[in-house]
Structure formats: structure tokens, C-alpha cells
Amino acid sequence: MNSKKIIGNAWVYGDNIDTDILAPGPYMKASLAELAAHCMEAIDTSFACQVKKGDIVIAGDAFGIGSSREQAAQALVELGVAAVVAKSFARIFYRNSLNLGLPVLFCPDIENVDKGDEIEVNPETGVVTNHTKQQTFQCEPIPPELMTIVNAGGLMPYLKSKFAKENKSG
Amino acid sequence: MSINSPQTLAQKIIAKASGKQHVVPGEIVTCQLDLVLMHDSSGPRRVKSRLEDLGAKVFDPSKIVLVSDHFVPATDPESAEILALTRRWAQDNLVNHFYDMQGICHVMLPQQGHLKPGMFLVGGDSHSPTGGAFATFMVGIGATEMTGALATGEIWIKVPETIRINWSGELPDGCSAKDIMLFLCKKLGMNNNYKVMEFGGETVRAMSMFERMVLCNMSAELGGKTGIIEADETTTEWIKSTGQAVDIDALDWQSDNKAKYEAVYHFNASDLVPQVAAPHSPENTDNVDVFSDVTVHQAYIGACTGAKLSDLHMAARVLKGQKVAQGTRLLIAPASVKTTEMAAKDGTLSLLTEAGAIMLPTGCGACAGMGAGAIANGENCISSTSRNFKGRMGSPDSNVYLASPYTVAASAIAGKIADPRLFLTNQP
Ligand code: SF4
């Protein structure tokens, strides 16, 4: 399974990054790629064009608050974001992310991270390391029940193998 | 905790849905779904290919309610395609409870008598907590999870803690459930994650189902997992009025007397004054008079939160015999076709249009920035909807203020944000 390390550069945002910031309503009819190109533009126009595969988003409270639109998490996945570490998450966003295979970690204590810092995330132990600042934070690990889904790459691949097994045995 | 320890209403419903006597907060259980709600934006267009990919069929077409409300009526070829796909999917999957352009999903569900106390449901929309007004446990989920729910008829859930919010005293004239919720967004903040918000007390008991729906609807803005209200005669009377039978145990869906809440709050409704939330968050709420300098370009009465029959009645009480100000436009999008029909019958519609209101089609419309009524750069809109995030109703540099239908109507007349108590007339 993919217990490979998640290491990337940080993009740092504050509290209440809502689903309209992540997936702006006016682009909801557009393709995922186009929608993702407008991700965060209401607060940071550089994000969508400069974020690199493997980068990590660090944020404050209530990340992903608002609508149930899965595109909020999908846009981040599309742009290559490898993990989100926030003080807290809105619940639908949290579930959506894990269902899409995007590791998201509650980290109430995280602080002192600057844009570009090198961050390492271990979703199973909940340890987040800021290599640039040489600081370590203990976050809430993702529960094992849910880690199975994340490791499978999300709920769809997970269900797919489950159905395939059932069909074989049935 | 013993097997007989008291439970909250939410715990009782989760216990029943997971085939247990008793559940405790923190426990992860698998629940059977009594009903699944989907709409055109998050529904078939998102789940169709996923289900095909899985090689799975829907678990039970009779337990699915599908509503087209987000992209109606189609404004361009893309939305028309989405609607066409929604219709084909309903047909192909034998989904009979398909309400096509009949109203907003959270209003259609109760209007058509789908909600009964004790049910466990999911909806593909973040305002799914609205259903909790009927003593159900209803949560919102995203599209991938919806695929799983449709394929398996079940969903995992971590049993949540419940926060009890009691209101006593009489709501002053000109205040409504919307003012209560804006007040609570400020008071309790928007980060009550994973908690169930249970509303009670004499003020809530005295409320109509329409108003109770607003409390549960905006539990989403409090960040809660869902909102819930215990069943009483008002609940069962509503169900009867839809032509549905009332289950014999309907009134049993209550929290136990000694149930353990994570927190209990008490507020007095008679102290409330009309509330307004400033851009760009529902928690930026203050008393209406703080905003009396704000020019209003657009006043919008719409959405599941703020365009039910009761909301149109509130607006009409303010607009009766008045005119919308020069330079301000008042747009009204009733929450369902039936709402429009009732408002036409009882004379409300003509009061609204005589005052200069522009009637828009039923649907989510401008609430989600998908339909008619978008706002331009630098414009201010006061709206009876539930969310005022940056860019939600149009340009990223527009401003949305949230308020009750009373206050939206009063502001339309004044051309500035205004206290509705200055304009109230008797019930039309
Ligand atoms: S009216 Fe607005 S809040 Fe209600 S379901 Fe539609 S988009 Fe969501």
C-alpha cells in the first residue's frame, strides 16, 4: 500500500477557506481542469498557476466550510496537492477528501509555517514535520477504518475491489 | 456507559438505523438508509459514470428522491445538458420520486411528505440538515460518498455529540427564525464541527414547520453535522396535511430526559432584534441598525432558507402598499411551484408585484450563483439566503448581506439596509 512519505512545500492560508474559494460557483459547470484553474483565486491568484505536484496546504480553522460540492477537494487533487493540514475541517469536506484519497489532517497546534517551507506529513501516525523550521507537530492520525479508503486511493477504487471480490465469491 | 443510559434524539435514530439498542458518541457504526436525496448539480451527473464504473445498480429506486433545482430553468447549453442527463438517469434507474423543476430539494422533501420522525437519511447537499426539523437525522454528503450510498444503501458514521439550544420567550414582531440563526452564527461561531444542533424550548415549539426548517437548514452555517428538532403535534399535523399516514410511534422521537449533551445553551427570543450578516461570512452578524448606511443594489428573496410560503408572507407584510426604491431591484424566486400557487391564491403574489418585485423562476437561482440574479463588481445585495461567502452570488468583488425576508423587503423599499419594524403591516 502507499505508505510512502508525503513531502512537499507549504501553501499557507488562514481560517474559513470555504468551498466557494476552492471551487467558485460561477465555474461549477466548467470542466474540472478549468474549475481548478480558479481554485483560491478570490484570495490568492498565484495558487492555481504556481502550485506544484506534491505541495501541501496548511490552513487554520474550518477548512472547506460551506457547500457539499466535492469539486472543492477535487480541485486540490487536480492541482496535485498531496495533503491538507488544518486546525480543523468542515465535516463534508473532510469526508469528501478522504473519499477522494486526499489525506487531510486535523492539527490544532500547527503554527509558524511560512509559504514554501518543506513539510512532511505522515497520515497514519499524525506526525507533521516542518523541515525548514525543524519543528514537529503531533496531529490527529487518520483513523485506521478511513486509512483503508485513503490507501486504496479513495472510496471508488476501494468499493471497486470490494465489489470485485464479492462478485468472485458470490 | 450502560445499555440503558439516556440518549439524545440523534443517538436514538442512529441506533435504530444501525440495528442497535444504544450508541455512544465517538463510536463508528454503519447505518441503513431510509431515504436518499439528490439534486441535478451533485446527483446523476456526478454519480452516473461512477456507478457504471463500479458495475453497481442503485440499492432501491423507491428510496431515492431526485430534484432538479440548481440549473433550472436551463440558462445555456451546458445546464440544459445537465438537466437532460438528470432526466434520462431518473428514467433509466426507475426513480419515480423525481421532481423536475418543481422546487428546491430541501423544500420538496417535506412538501411531498417524504419526511417522518425517526428516519435516517443522506442528501447530496450541505443544507440537508433541513430535514431534521421533522425529527429525522439527515446529513449532507459529497458525490463519491453518494455513489457508495446508492450502491450499498448504507453509510458509516461516527456517532456525534449533541449541543442543545433552548429558546424561550416570544419572538418580537419583525423577527424570525432567520434572525435567530444569524444571531447564533455570531454567538456560537461557524465551527461546531461534527456536532448535532438540537433546537428546543417554547419559542421553537411555537414555530411553524417552515420556521423550524430554517433553524435546521442553517445548522450547516454553524458548521454542525446536522440540526434536529423533537417531534410534536406540529410535526404530525404537517405530515397529515401532505396526505401521508402518521406512524404510531411518531411522537416518541424525543431526547431522553437525562440525555447527555456536550453543551446546553439558553437564549431569550424576546430580546432579539432583526439581524444582518455582513460580507463575507454569516458570523459577521450584528443588529440591523449598524448597517443603515449600506446602499442596496439588489434585494433577493430566494432559496430553501428564505423563499417558502411563510417567507413570502413576511415580505408581503412589509411591502404592502409600498414601492421598491429607485435604483434598487427586488428579485423573488419562490422555493417551489406550489409556493407560487399558494401565494397566488392567497393574494400574496399581487402584493409583491404591485410593490415592484420581479418574480423569478423557482429554483436555487442566484443563491448559488448558478441562475438568474448574479451581481456585479462593487454591488451590494441583501438576501434571504443562507450564505454570503465571497463571490457566491456573482463577481468576487460583490457584497452579500444576509437577513430575514422582512429585512430584505424593508431594505428594498428604503434602498438601504433598513429595519423592517418600521414598515410592518398586518397579515395580508
Ligand atoms: S437554495 Fe441555495 S442553499 Fe438551498 S439548496 Fe439551493 S443552492 Fe443550496
What is the per-residue DSSP string for A43-72? T-TTHHHH--TT-EEEE-SSBTBS---THH
Same domain assignment for residues B261 and B348? no
Residue A2 confidence class, pLDDT cut points 50, 70, 90: very low
Q: What are phi and psi of A87, to 5 degrees?
A: -60, -40
Whole-angstrom Cα Rg for chain B: 21
Cα separation of A21 and A42, whole Å? 6
Chain A residues near residue B74 by CB distance under 8 angstroms:
none
List all residues of chain B from 89 to 108 with a beta carbon under 8 Å from chain A.
none
- Looking at B267, B298, B325, the residue that finishes a domain is B267
Residue B396 confidence class, pLDDT cut points 50, 70, 90: confident
**Residue showing cell 408585484:** B353
CB distance B140–A92 less than 8 Å? yes
Same domain assignment for residues B42 and B190? yes
List all residues of chain A from 44 to 63 with a beta carbon under 8 Å from chain B.
61-62
- Looking at B243, B267, B291, the residue that finishes a domain is B267
Same domain assignment for residues B233 and B322? no
Domain containing B331: what range?
Answer: 278-422
> What's the structural domain count of chain A?
1
- Binding site membership of B127 for ligand 1 (Cβ less than 6 Å): yes
**Residue showing cell 418580537:** B172
Contact B276, B285 (CB under 8 A): yes
Cα separation of B153 and B58, whole Å? 8
Domain containing A79: what range?
Answer: 6-169
Closest to B53 (Cβ–Cβ): which among A68, A88, A156? A156
Cα separation of B86 and A90, whole Å? 28
Tell whether B3 is covered by a domain. Answer: no
Cα separation of A61 and B23, whole Å? 29
CB distance A95–B125 less than 8 Å? no
- Looking at residue A170, its pLDDT comes to 46
- Looking at residue A4, its pLDDT comes to 64
Task: Give the DSSP letter of residue A79.
Answer: T
Task: Taking residues B220-234, report their average pLDDT.
Answer: 96
Question: What dihedral do alpha carbons B296, B214, B138, A93 form, nearest 10°?
Answer: 30
- Binding site membership of B368 for ligand 1 (Cβ less than 6 Å): yes
Same domain assignment for residues B216 and B112? yes
Tell whether B81 is covered by a domain. Answer: yes
List all residues of chain B from 363 to 402 with a beta carbon under 8 Å from chain A.
368-370, 374, 387, 389-392, 394, 396
- Looking at residue B5, its pLDDT comes to 87
Contact B120, B16 (CB under 8 A): yes
- Looking at residue A162, its pLDDT comes to 83
Tell whether B98 is covered by a domain. Answer: yes
Same domain assignment for residues B317 and B184? no
In this structure, the number of other CB atoms found within 10 A of the CB of residue A150 comes to: 23
Cα separation of B319 and B322, whole Å? 5
List all residues of chain B from 110 to 149 with a beta carbon under 8 Å from chain A.
124-126, 128, 140-145, 147-148
Same domain assignment for residues B214 and B283? no
Whole-angstrom Cα Rg for chain A: 16
Tell whether A110 is covered by a domain. Answer: yes
Residue B152's Cβ-count burial label (10 Å; 0-12, 13-18, 19+) is: middle
Cα separation of A108 and A15, whole Å? 12
Closest residue of chain A to B126, computed from CA coordinates: A68
Contact B401, B277 (CB under 8 A): yes
> What's the structural domain count of chain B?
2
Tell whether B273 is covered by a domain. Answer: no
Task: Taking residues B62-72, report their average pLDDT.
Answer: 97
- Looking at residue A1, its pLDDT comes to 41
Nearest chain A Cα distance for residue B11, angstroms: 18
pTM to 2 decimal places: 0.89
Task: Taking residues A102-113, report their average pLDDT.
Answer: 95
Contact B334, B348 (CB under 8 A): no
Same domain assignment for residues B246 and B108? yes
Ligand 1 atom having least distance to the Cα of B303: 1
**Which of A95, A149, A150, A162 should be substituted to probe chain B, the one whose Cβ sees the most B Cβ atoms within 10 Å?**
A95
Same domain assignment for residues B98 and B126? yes
Tell whether A67 is covered by a domain. Answer: yes
- Looking at residue B22, its pLDDT comes to 95
Same domain assignment for residues B222 and B100? yes
Tell whether A78 is covered by a domain. Answer: yes
Tell whether A1 is covered by a domain. Answer: no
Tell whether A153 is covered by a domain. Answer: yes
For atom 4 of ligand 1, the residue with the nearest CA is B304
Check if A152 contacts B (Cβ < 8 Å).
Answer: no
Same domain assignment for residues B261 and B288? no
The pLDDT tens digits of the residues spanning A110-144 come to 999 999 999 999 999 999 999 999 999 999 999 88
Same domain assignment for residues B328 and B189? no
Closest to A88 (Cβ–Cβ): which among B76, B151, B193? B193
Give the Å distance between the CA of B4 and the centre of ligand 1.
40
- Looking at B221, B239, B267, the residue that finishes a domain is B267
Residue B394 confidence class, pLDDT cut points 50, 70, 90: confident
- Binding site membership of B301 for ligand 1 (Cβ less than 6 Å): no
Query: Percentage of residues in chain B with pLDDT exceeding 70?
Result: 99
Tell whether B194 is covered by a domain. Answer: yes
Question: What dihedral do alpha carbons A120, A122, A123, A127 form, nearest 10°?
Answer: -90
The pLDDT tens digits of the residues spanning B103-123 come to 999 999 999 999 999 999 999
**Residue showing cell 442553517:** B218
Cα separation of B427 and A145, whole Å? 55
Give the Å distance between the CA of B126 and the centre of ligand 1.
9
Contact B39, B124 (CB under 8 A): yes
pLDDT at B176 over 60: yes
Check if A159 contacts B (Cβ < 8 Å).
Answer: yes
- C-alpha of B134 from chain center: 12
Closest residue of chain B to A41, computed from CA coordinates: B396
Give the domain CATH number at B182.
Answer: 3.30.499.10
Task: Give the DSSP letter of residue A89.
Answer: B
Tell whether B337 is covered by a domain. Answer: yes
Closest residue of chain B to A20, computed from CA coordinates: B392
Interface confidence: ipTM more than 0.90: no
**Which of B75, B144, B152, B281 should be substituted to probe chain A, the one whose Cβ sees the most A Cβ atoms within 10 Å?**
B144
The pLDDT tens digits of the residues spanning A39-56 come to 999 999 999 999 999 999
Question: H/E element holding B17?
Answer: helix B9-17
pLDDT at B427 over 70: no
Same domain assignment for residues B365 and B223? no
Check if B46 contacts A (Cβ < 8 Å).
Answer: yes
Give the domain CATH number at A72.
Answer: 3.20.19.10
